[in-house]
Structure 1
Amino acid sequence: MTGRFYGVGVGPGDPELITRKAARLIEQADVVAFHAGVGKASNARRIAAELFPADVIEEQLTYPVTTGATQHPGGYAGALAEFYEESAARLAVHLDAGRDVVLLAEGDPLFYGSFMYMHDRLADRFPTEVVPGVPAFVAATAAAARPLVRQTDVLTVLPGTMPESELARRLADTDAAIIMKLGRTFPAVRRALAAAGRLDHAVYVERASMPEERWLPAADVEAGSVPYFSLIVVTGDSRNGLRSRSVDVAAEVVTEVAASAPELFVVGLGPGPAGWTTPEVTKALAEVEHVVGYGPYVARVPQRAGLTRHSSGNTVEVDRARFALDLARAGNKVAVVSGGDAGVFGMAAAVFEAAEDAAYADVSIRVLPGVSAVQAVAARAGAPIGADFAVVSLSDRLKPWAVVERRLRAIAEADLVLAIYNPASRSRTEQVATAQRVLLEHRKPDTVVIVGRDVGRAEESLRVTTLAELDPASIDMKCLLIVGAESTRLSPAGVWTPRYVEGE
């Protein structure tokens, strides 16, 4: 009969915040385990020590490293992985002997805690139970006496160790936030708060619920004085109306028409890497006050002070365009963003469609070009679009499939290189196979086909196949296809299409 393994949250520091169930299990434990830093007393043990049975066996699990600097051959991650394996083995000895083991966790066991690594290693071998505890951020919010979220506010919990630019973006895109893991990261966290326009409303809380508890505005904190047991609370009330909005709240933002001539930028961010965003676009984005677009594209724009982001879904392009035009009419500096080039199946056409409304006659629209996905895939492959080529989207959301098929036949008959956007999605799985069949009616089976997936990103792949061997099941929305012409060649240097055409 093995013992039972318990992960018990003991709360943020005040022993009176330990739950009744947690207290009972600690008082009945055969073994109580807890983590501690090198040369430091365990905070979890301090919180629960009064509940330890007189004859309890204590297991202190001392971290081998806490700052990231280590001589371990596997680096910081390797050192910790080895430590967790050794710790699990120590606890397993007691469990195999039939002893119940309580592993104490500060706050909640499964909220940025080390218990989860023991759970990974022991839960499949021994009966395991997790007892939740009061997380530190709840105590911090109570200490600051600030309502955290109201009604439909969104709360985001962020580690201060994430990249500064990403932290700023996420702070700008949420209503309320908790920033954990400060310590040495505090200077970067404070800069991210400032870039997101949230610093003036961020509250720093140190050692929440402990006797040494203190809180003050994050802007007033001395960076060198920030301990690990600290966090920042950014409440939903701090938005003061300057929230990242969807297009259905335009009326709340646009209140009056500006006297000066309004201007709206429509920009292409390129296919993915920051290096593929043109300097012209980068300059424009550095000057605007509002960025409007599909969520994943808006997320690519670096956050900075004074910038408000407006994300929306993938099927409201014209509504999004009207929202941006209304912002521009009110005198705001606005950019509508697209991936790739805004004029190639992007937001440019939607903006011009919305701008046909006479209400926007005074808005000047400037389209700034970007690197298109077809250019990126073609460049990776060689020079497949070195001669005449056509571009088609297989999406039939905005046009009947019969139109798509008619255009595919015309392109195939004209022997043009063909770039295919939007080849498939979760709801569109048959179009690629149909397009393949249509093209094979006019093209040879060995026609070169390039399949580019996530080109320019870490997961990029490029595959060269033939029209007959193309597997439609392998194609998804992240792919762009280039189907060669009869003259397109595959050489050791890459795929290319001659600039000349032999006389007929």
Structure 2
Amino acid sequence: MNPPPAAPTPARFGRLIGVSLGPGDPELITRRGWAALHSGARWAYPVKKAEESSYALDIARRGGLAIPADAVELVFPMTRDAVALARAWARAAAQTVQLLAEGRDLAFLVEGDASTYSTFRHLARAVRELVPEITVDTIAGVSSFAAAAAVADLALAEEDETMAVIPAAYGVEVIDRLLDEFDTLVLMKVKPLVDEILELLERRGLTATSCFVEKVGAPEERVVHDLTRLRGEKVNYLSLLLVQNPKRARGELRRGCRERAAPAAGSPAAAIDA
């Protein structure tokens, strides 16, 4: 008589799941993200300071989800101090590995999309540096600029148009140059440079084709088409500008999907290929 099959050995580590929640509106959480939040995985969420409120956690709360009693905060300070940042990342990664070592999945709540300017990718990389075999699962979500274009009734790109997404911190000189290279510019985190960017857009005659969006999807959402209203105003950190340049000169496009014909036998190109 054959012995009964052995019970499967539990995984040594749980999965690290980046759960994208969208930029603020709980209705933008995807079905896959919603399922992960109900999967029994432990929750982890980012904060800037210990015991501070979490924007990502607030999205889940406004979606009617009960916050699990064992949800864990991970501190990621807003600082340019390289030493302080290194310590914070090391501490968060070690804490994450310790939680995953219990064999239970860990759902890390992410505002926006987990692959776009997200803390999650840094965390996943730091965790894998400690324990390479840990499985990372990233659940895609709605990005803030996609949601902003929708609420502002704008197209990010149509047909053969081009677009670029950059942090506004690169400065007005870079923005000025990119305006001639892309039909749409998405400028993220514009808070420190609003007045300088407004001056540039006025000089380029692009204020009428630009739009400011703040805290998209949140109860405090604000959409401003008349950019002159923003001059001298202190805006929220979670704000962006959609800038369109309909006057941009475009180069000739190579259309069609047919491959180039093979060179005829005896041609110079055929001889080189041989």
TM-score, normalised by the number of residues in structure 1:
0.44
> Counterparts in 2 of 1:52-91, with a 5 A limit?
52=66, 54-55=68-69, 57-66=70-79, 68=80, 76-91=81-96
1:52 shift after superposition: 4.4
> Counterparts in 2 of 1:308-319, with a 5 A limit?
none
The aligned amino acid for 1:42 is S
Q: CA RMSD in A?
A: 2.0
> What is the CA–CA distance in structure 1 between the aligned matches of 2:207 and 2:180, rounded to whole Å?
11
> Counterparts in 2 of 1:42-441, with a 5 A limit?
42-49=54-61, 50-52=64-66, 54-55=68-69, 57-66=70-79, 68=80, 76-123=81-128, 124-217=132-225, 218-235=227-244, 238-239=245-246, 242-246=247-251, 248=252
> What is the CA–CA distance in structure 2 between the aligned matches of 1:206 and 1:65, rounded to whole Å?
19
Residues 36 and 60 in structure 1, CA contact (< 8 A), matched pair in contact too: yes
> What is the CA–CA distance in structure 1 between the aligned matches of 2:154 and 2:210, rounded to whole Å?
11
The structure whose Rg is larger is: 1
Q: 1:237-272: per-residue Cα shift (whole Å, max 9, x none)?
A: x41xx21333x59xxxxxxxxxxxxxxxxxxxxxxx
In the alignment, does 2:44 pair up with 1:33?
Answer: yes
> What is the CA–CA distance in structure 1 between the aligned matches of 2:52 and 2:180, rounded to whole Å?
37
Q: Highest relative contact order (Cα 8 Å, sep 6+), 1 or 2?
A: 2
Query: Structure 1 stretches of 5 or more lacking a match?
Result: 69-75, 250-504
Q: 1:329-376: per-residue Cα shift (whole Å, max 9, x none)?
A: xxxxxxxxxxxxxxxxxxxxxxxxxxxxxxxxxxxxxxxxxxxxxxxx
**What is the DSSP-based 3-state SS (H/G/I as helix, E as strand, rest coil) of the residue aligned with 1:225?**
coil
Q: 1:203-261: per-residue Cα shift (whole Å, max 9, x none)?
A: 001111112111113332144321111111124xx41xx21333x59xxxxxxxxxxxx
Q: How many residues align?
A: 235
Q: 1:104 to 1:172 in 2, by over 3 A?
A: same
**What is the DSSP-based 3-state SS (H/G/I as helix, E as strand, rest coil) of the residue aligned with 1:145?**
coil
Which residue pairs with 2:32 in the alignment?
A: 21
**What is the DSSP-based 3-state SS (H/G/I as helix, E as strand, rest coil) of the residue aligned with 1:28?**
coil
Q: Identical aligned pairs, as a percentage?
A: 29
Please identify which structure carries the higher strand content: 1
Residues 148 and 234 in structure 1, CA contact (< 8 A), matched pair in contact too: no
> What is the CA–CA distance in structure 2 between the aligned matches of 1:146 and 1:65, rounded to whole Å?
32
Q: 1:462-484: per-residue Cα shift (whole Å, max 9, x none)?
A: xxxxxxxxxxxxxxxxxxxxxxx
Q: 1:224 to 1:79 in 2, by over 3 A?
A: farther
The aligned amino acid for 1:51 is L
> What is the CA–CA distance in structure 1 between the aligned matches of 2:111 and 2:97, rounded to whole Å?
21
The aligned amino acid for 2:28 is L
1:151 shift after superposition: 0.4
**What is the DSSP-based 3-state SS (H/G/I as helix, E as strand, rest coil) of the residue aligned with 1:150?**
coil
Which residue pairs with 1:288 in the alignment?
A: none
Residues 74 and 92 in structure 2, CA contact (< 8 A), matched pair in contact too: yes
Q: Which runs of 4+ in 1 moved over 6 A?
A: none
1:194 shift after superposition: 3.6
> What is the CA–CA distance in structure 1 between the aligned matches of 2:37 and 2:214, rounded to whole Å?
27
**What is the DSSP-based 3-state SS (H/G/I as helix, E as strand, rest coil) of the residue aligned with 1:79?**
helix
The aligned amino acid for 2:98 is V
Residues 211 and 243 in structure 2, CA contact (< 8 A), matched pair in contact too: yes
The aligned amino acid for 1:193 is L
